[in-house]
């Protein structure tokens, strides 16, 4: 939700609410265009912690669903995003990233080994669906 109006509202208040939605839509469009500017992008922008973080895909280890949010685990940090995991499944290239569970997308080249139904990436153990 971007804004809301309580009755009775003035025309000025309506214009302010519409402008908020418009500004947000322009921001999303710009971020989407930047992330889709190449056929095989090396980075994407993720909104988290009230900032837009540039994520370099070669630093991305895996993504974990966390309710309506997702946790993006990078080599040096973890970022919480307000997007659902299905959004990242659509954005990331299937040759480099694989959804192995309803809650996990992994970077294929970061897999250390697979043991039974667990995937190990650095010190993280991820359960994959059978």
pLDDT band at 64 (very low <50, low <70, confident <90, very high): very high
More confident residue, 25 or 53: 53
Domain ranges of the chain: 1-37, 39-127
pLDDT tens sequence across 102-125: 899 999 999 999 888 889 999 899
Q: CA separation (Å) from 73 to 33, 38, 42, 61?
A: 24, 23, 16, 6
The reported pLDDT for the residue numbered 79 is 92
Q: What is the mean pLDDT of the chain?
A: 81
| Tokens 């650095």, residue located | 122
Q: Is the pLDDT of residue 9 over 90?
A: no
Say if residues 26 and 16 touch (Cβ distance below 8 Å): no
Fold of 39-127: OB fold (Dihydrolipoamide Acetyltransferase, E2P) (2.40.50)
Q: Is the pLDDT of residue 4 over 90?
A: no
Say if residues 127 and 116 touch (Cβ distance below 8 Å): no
Burial of 71 by CB count in 10 Å (0-12 exposed, 13-18 middle, 19+ buried)?
A: middle
pLDDT band at 58 (very low <50, low <70, confident <90, very high): very high
pLDDT tens sequence across 14-43: 777 777 765 555 445 445 545 555 556 788
């Amino acid at each position: 939700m971007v804004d809301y109006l309580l009755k009775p509202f003035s025309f000025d208040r309506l214009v302010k609410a519409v402008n908020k939605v418009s500004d947000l839509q322009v921001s999303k469009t710009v971020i989407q265009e930047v992330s889709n500017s190449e056929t095989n992008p090396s980075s994407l922008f993720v909104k988290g912690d009230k900032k837009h973080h540039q994520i370099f895909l070669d630093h991305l280890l895996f993504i974990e669903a966390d309710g309506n949010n997702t946790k993006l685990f990078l080599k040096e940090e973890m970022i919480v995003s307000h997007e659902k995991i299905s959004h990242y499944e659509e954005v990331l290239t299937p040759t480099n990233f694989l959804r192995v569970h309803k809650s996990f997308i992994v970077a294929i080249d970061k897999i250390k080994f697979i043991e039974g139904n667990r995937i190990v990436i650095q010190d993280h153990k991820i359960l994959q669906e059978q």
